[in-house]
């Protein structure tokens, strides 16, 4: 075997490895795109099941409040115009209040919480929505809760100033 054959063989091997890496990256990006697409088209189903779960938690805690309907998340994001928290907005049954359901990470565990928001945009109460969240809720730093409260109130205030009502009519 001469020197040119060895160089050609090394080039072919290098191209083959590069091609294998490109195929692997293509599969990874394809799966990420597919997962993102599925996440987007299933938002209403996720919102519905979360509504049922939160209502079951409220029932088991002997709380008389209930969620009645999910608010249009796209409308809220469009009107609030800022980076929103990852969560869902709901109307409260027989009340003019709203609930924002979100999660907080504490010690590597997700804690589901619900913020009761008055029609004026102020957070009146934060509820833990799981047994572990209830157990850990008192140990959460107040500064972290205050950050979430400020962001929720800011998002709701911006939304309310850009619309007359959440149900759909605009200024």
pLDDT at 40: 83
Q: Is residue 158 very low, low, confident or very high in pLDDT (cuts 50, 70, 90)?
A: confident
Higher per-residue pLDDT: 5 or 130: 130
* Mean pLDDT across the chain: 82
Q: Tokens for 108?
A: 């590597």
Q: Is residue 80 very low, low, confident or very high in pLDDT (cuts 50, 70, 90)?
A: low
Angle at 151 between CA 38 and CA 63, to 5 degrees: 80
Q: Tokens for 49?
A: 């099941």
Q: What is the pTM of this model?
A: 0.73
Report helix, strand or coil for 24.
helix
Strand order in the sheet with 123-128: 67-70, 87-92, 98-106, 109-117, 123-128
Residue 131 CA to its chain's centroid (Å): 20
Q: What is the mean pLDDT of residues 119-127?
A: 90
pLDDT at 30: 96
**127 pLDDT above the threshold of 70:** yes
Q: Which of 4-13, 52-61, 113-122 has the lowest mean pLDDT?
A: 4-13
- Please report which helix (H) or strand (E) contains residue 114, including its range: strand 109-117
pLDDT at 5: 58
The answer to whether 46 and 106 are in contact (CB under 8 A) is no
Q: Terminus-to-terminus CA distance in the chain, angstroms?
A: 81
């Amino acid at each position: 075997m001469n020197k040119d054959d060895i160089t050609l063989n090394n080039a072919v091997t290098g191209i083959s490895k590069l091609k294998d890496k490109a195929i692997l990256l293509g599969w990874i990006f394809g799966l990420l795109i597919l997962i993102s697409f599925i996440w987007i088209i299933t938002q209403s189903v996720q919102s519905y099941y979360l509504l049922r779960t939160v209502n079951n938690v409220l029932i088991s805690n002997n709380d008389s409040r209930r969620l009645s309907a999910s608010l249009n998340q796209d409308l809220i994001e469009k009107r609030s115009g800022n980076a929103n928290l990852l969560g869902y907005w709901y109307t409260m049954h027989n009340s003019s209040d709203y609930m924002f359901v979100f999660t907080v990470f504490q010690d590597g565990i997700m804690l589901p919480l619900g913020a009761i928001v008055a029609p004026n945009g102020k957070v009146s109460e934060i509820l833990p929505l799981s047994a572990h969240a209830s157990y850990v809720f008192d140990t959460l730093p107040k500064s972290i809760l205050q950050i979430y409260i400020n962001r929720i109130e800011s998002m709701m205030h911006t939304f309310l100033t850009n619309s007359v009502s959440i149900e759909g009519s605009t200024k």
